[in-house]
Structure 1
Amino acid sequence: MTQRTLDGQSYPLPPGNLGLPILGETLSFLQDRNFANKRHKKYGSVFKTHLFGRPTVILMGPEANRFILSTHFDHFSWREGWPKMFRELLGRSLFLQDGEEHRRNRKLLMPAFHGPALNQYITTMEEIIDRYLNNWEKQGSIAWFFELKKMTFEIASILLIGSEPGELTDMLSQWFTELTSGLFTLPIALPGTTYSKALKARDRLLNHIEKVVQERQKHPTSDALGLLVQTRDEEGNSLSLEELKVQALLMLFAGHETTTSMLASFNMVLAQNRQIRARLNTEIENISPKGSITLEQLRQMTYLDQVLKEVERFYPPVAGGFRGVVKPCVFGGYYIPEGWQLLYRIDATHLDQRVYTNPEQFDPDRFSPERAENKKMEYSLVGFGGGSRICLGYTFAQMEMKIFAVHLLRHYDWELLPDQDLSFHPISTINSGSGLLVKFYRYN
């Protein structure tokens, strides 16, 4: 095993297989959902491979997360870590920025996702959610995953960039589906390929967003993009047109993809666990049985918090996170060279038996104050990241999911239809196999 030297000491490279020349093990990574699990069993919690044209180290466990997200944060780059497809399709947005550029822009975006802005979003969220619930009741049987994707995209597009419901929002949603299909595919831009369609969808979205930004600059609004257009840093500088376009694109992407995955998992779990649902119904009946919901009422729903945390753990909306290694380092006794790519595994961390009792069992009580299993080790629940770069829209997403849960559970019931694939597949985010087919109806 090749040895490397750091600070006067010699360390081996991680075990593993770099695969074929150029391609490495990329095709296996894209096609085999058990790719990482198989190699974890063979090599342990640190191993090397070759993905998307670069030698890659894959790590798992809370210690690895803490190493990457906290103690050795400056050794890794977001922009240099995510594959070419992410950089081309999502642009130089907050997601792919580092250092001072990221700190400055995160601070500028923060007001749109916290504090007073959240209160302004509640009524619109409730109106959209109620409309979708009524439509699903009329349809009777639905492919819920795809319906949820439409709903969360409409919420994101209306609240974040001020779109209106209708044909335009439907078209934007279709373009986003085409864009996200290109995030985990070979970046071959030949006509007719998935990646070529993704690039065209990106351009259409950016052209639309540019027009919206120019309108907001002339006529300020209270949606998130309107707030971004008006915000200034300490020196009085605002975001440029190009910055506003890519940040808005990121807001739309992050504002509905992970939320869709979480809500689909939540709904499936409640169909399979009636006792959990009964406890949620009791909590909602005691705190907010009818009418509009307040942030204070949502904060009081502690069991709903536990269930959502367990959904995040058991069905993490994103399976892992990429980083680029900008300084050589050592983890677990292995040398990780500068210029390599790193992938930390969220899904495997959430099944770590050192942290979670019977991790293969869905159990919201593991997050109760009495047990608080995620407090045993730092960075053991990282479905939305951790440390200084925890997901900026996490509070927005939590509020949306809780509002949806309350309105759903107050009046509606659903049953899973037989003979369907209930597995969830990690692509850009976790996607449902059959689309979560259900019979949906009102019970009071």
Structure 2
Amino acid sequence: MTIISASQAKNSGSYPPGPKGHFLLGSLFEYNSDSLNFLSKCAQEYGDVVFCKGSLFSFYLLNHPDYIQEVLGTKSNQFGKSPRWEWTRRLLGNGILTSEGEFWQRQRRLIQPAFQRERIFAYGQVMVDYTQQLLNSWEDGETRDVYADMLALTLEIIAKSLFQVDEKEAVEVIGKALKNSIEYFEAPSNNLLLFLLPDWFPTSKNLNYLKAVRSLDNVIYTTLNQRRASGQDKGDLLSMLLQIQDEDGTKMSDKQIRDEMIGMLIGGRESTALVLCWTWYLLSQHPEVESKLLEELQTILGGQAPTIADLPQLRYTEKVVMEVMRLYPPVATVGRTALQNCEVAGYPVHAGDTIMMSQWVMHHDPRYFNNPEAFNPDRWEADLIKRLPAFAYFPFSGGPMICIGKSFAMMELVLLLATIAQQFRLKLVPDQKVTLCNPFLVRPKNRIKMLLNKR
């Protein structure tokens, strides 16, 4: 993999190099057909800063940690969130995933206490208990769709932790609604016509999406009204959202709580399930890693269920999770829009220009990761994370807008991996082709079937 520096590229012209593309749509077709491969090729062929030019679709791609840090860190106030978030507003509303500026800062400040370590530790037992319920339903020798199972498990956990919803029917409604919503968000990547159609246009995906939003609203507002009427503090995230208030005494409206809850549901379900799915896929092909993982689990846990007290000692388990997120970051790219004319990596950027940064590309960059395609949790020994540039590895994004649920997610991933791996070995069913879905989330295109072997 040949990497061209920004200084070398700038010698060839005033603006970054990049693929020629279509005069109107730029590289949209290439990007949509295989976004991960396209972005990787751009980094290899054109260097640390790439400009994909088109009249209707153009963007800068940053492939160096220092330049990514400019946009997400030091100059973050000069950039807003990607325009693609506009597609999600009917579902996500104005929560911290979509809001910006002073309103975002207020919401982030209000919500942050709900994700302090002491608060999220209370959910550790919930995570282990629901995992054990799943394992009780598994049978030795059966074949499971591991992605579907992990989605169901992480949804049960976040629904319980968020607002004490554990009724099977309500959880199924939420799960179906979230599935339809994710499919809606990804649909434009598979059909360019959908870029031009408003969400009220009666296509089947639009109708399913609008139905999904109504279903989620019904579950959330019903729960919210019941909680307000009872005045009961159940120790969940909803109770926290109802109680917190700004310095002037202002509390969140029901609509704002609803927006934040939906954002947490999506983030707490999909990303964690993806990391676990890829974990089982990789472990099934690397018995040496699985053996080392089991050795640690036996030494630390001795067959007992893990607790939050065990987390500091489950060092290799955590390294496995970190390595999975390096190879298969749950989110492939993060985008920003320039709010004003500015400069990035020495190049001029105009207000309204789109900047893209890819976790997928950076996590596979040989400048920072030796033999980057190899699954090697041992690479994280000797505090590699502290020696890397800040944005060589950023599965939870970074800067002021780093994922607010990072600590919750890491705790959940380690506890779930430790609980499941002690009791079952998951072996990839032979002769199945595992491919990636195209766009936003790094998820399998089809089911990943695994054979269960009880330990």
TM-score (normalizing by structure 1): 0.90
* Alignment partner, residue 211 of structure 2: 200
Q: Which among 252, 272, 275 is matched to residue 285 of structure 2?
A: 272
Residues 404 and 315 of structure 1: CA distance in aligned 2, closer, same or farther (over 3 Å): same
* Alignment partner, residue 383 of structure 1: 395
**Deviation at residue 174 of structure 1 after TM alignment:** 0.7
Greater strand share, 1 or 2? 1
Worse overlay, 65-74 or 427-436: 427-436
Worse overlay, 37-46 or 431-440: 37-46
Q: Which among 58, 79, 100 is matched to residue 55 of structure 1?
A: 58
**One-letter amino acid of the counterpart of residue 387, structure 1:** G
Query: Are 1:226 and 2:228 an aligned pair?
Result: no
The answer to whether the Cα contact below 8 Å between 2:132 and 2:419 also exists between their aligned partners in 1 is yes
Greater helix share, 1 or 2? 2
1:147-226 equivalences under 5 Å are: 147-184=149-186, 185=188, 186-187=194-195, 188=197, 189=199, 190-219=201-230, 220=232, 221-226=234-239
**One-letter amino acid of the counterpart of residue 262, structure 2:** L
* Alignment partner, residue 132 of structure 1: 134
* Alignment partner, residue 40 of structure 2: 37
Residues 147 and 50 of structure 1: CA distance in aligned 2, closer, same or farther (over 3 Å): farther
* Alignment partner, residue 454 of structure 2: 442
Residues 112 and 54 of structure 1: CA distance in aligned 2, closer, same or farther (over 3 Å): same
C-alpha distance in 2 between matches for 1:127 and 1:151: 11
* Alignment size in residue pairs: 431
1:257-268 equivalences under 5 Å are: 257-268=270-281
C-alpha distance in 2 between matches for 1:212 and 1:50: 47
Residues 115 and 36 of structure 1: CA distance in aligned 2, closer, same or farther (over 3 Å): closer
| Matched-pair identity in % | 26
* Alignment partner, residue 406 of structure 1: 418
* Alignment partner, residue 6 of structure 1: none
Residues 50 and 277 of structure 1: CA distance in aligned 2, closer, same or farther (over 3 Å): same
**One-letter amino acid of the counterpart of residue 116, structure 2:** H
* Alignment partner, residue 378 of structure 2: 365
Query: Are 1:321 and 2:334 an aligned pair?
Result: yes
Q: Which among 104, 108, 111 is matched to residue 110 of structure 2?
A: 108
The answer to whether the Cα contact below 8 Å between 1:61 and 1:345 also exists between their aligned partners in 2 is no
Q: Deviations over 1:118-155 (max 9, x none)?
A: 23212221121011112122681111111111111111
Residues 442 and 139 of structure 1: CA distance in aligned 2, closer, same or farther (over 3 Å): closer
1:300-339 equivalences under 5 Å are: 300-339=313-352
**One-letter amino acid of the counterpart of residue 70, structure 1:** G
Unaligned segments of structure 2, at least 5 residues: 1-12, 189-193
Q: Deviations over 1:352-378 (max 9, x none)?
A: 222111112111111112x61662322
**Deviation at residue 162 of structure 1 after TM alignment:** 2.0
C-alpha distance in 2 between matches for 1:267 and 1:130: 17
The answer to whether the Cα contact below 8 Å between 2:331 and 2:440 also exists between their aligned partners in 1 is yes
Q: Which among 55, 68, 71 is matched to residue 71 of structure 2?
A: 68
Residues 200 and 15 of structure 1: CA distance in aligned 2, closer, same or farther (over 3 Å): farther
* Alignment partner, residue 395 of structure 1: 407
**One-letter amino acid of the counterpart of residue 181, structure 2:** L
Q: Deviations over 1:357-400 (max 9, x none)?
A: 1112111111112x616623222110111122211111111111
**Deviation at residue 169 of structure 1 after TM alignment:** 0.9
* Alignment partner, residue 366 of structure 2: 353
**One-letter amino acid of the counterpart of residue 138, structure 2:** W
Q: Aligned with 1:92: secondary structure?
A: coil
* Alignment partner, residue 6 of structure 2: none
* Alignment partner, residue 257 of structure 2: 244
Q: Which among 298, 303, 311 is matched to residue 298 of structure 1?
A: 311
Residues 204 and 69 of structure 1: CA distance in aligned 2, closer, same or farther (over 3 Å): same
* Alignment partner, residue 8 of structure 2: none
Unaligned segments of structure 1, at least 5 residues: 1-10
**Deviation at residue 302 of structure 1 after TM alignment:** 1.0
Residues 301 and 342 of structure 1: CA distance in aligned 2, closer, same or farther (over 3 Å): same
The answer to whether the Cα contact below 8 Å between 2:90 and 2:213 also exists between their aligned partners in 1 is no
* Alignment partner, residue 417 of structure 1: 429
The answer to whether the Cα contact below 8 Å between 1:52 and 1:83 also exists between their aligned partners in 2 is no
Residues 52 and 348 of structure 1: CA distance in aligned 2, closer, same or farther (over 3 Å): farther
Residues 378 and 249 of structure 1: CA distance in aligned 2, closer, same or farther (over 3 Å): same
Q: Aligned with 1:167: secondary structure?
A: helix
C-alpha distance in 2 between matches for 1:176 and 1:217: 25
Q: Deviations over 1:226-247 (max 9, x none)?
A: 2111111222221111111110
Residues 19 and 193 of structure 1: CA distance in aligned 2, closer, same or farther (over 3 Å): farther
Residues 426 and 130 of structure 1: CA distance in aligned 2, closer, same or farther (over 3 Å): farther
C-alpha distance in 2 between matches for 1:305 and 1:111: 24
The answer to whether the Cα contact below 8 Å between 1:318 and 1:426 also exists between their aligned partners in 2 is no
Residues 89 and 348 of structure 1: CA distance in aligned 2, closer, same or farther (over 3 Å): same
**One-letter amino acid of the counterpart of residue 293, structure 1:** P
The answer to whether the Cα contact below 8 Å between 1:420 and 1:434 also exists between their aligned partners in 2 is no
C-alpha distance in 2 between matches for 1:195 and 1:237: 36
Provide the aligned C-alpha RMSD in A. Answer: 2.3
C-alpha distance in 1 between matches for 2:55 and 2:413: 34
The answer to whether the Cα contact below 8 Å between 2:33 and 2:438 also exists between their aligned partners in 1 is no
Residues 129 and 373 of structure 1: CA distance in aligned 2, closer, same or farther (over 3 Å): closer
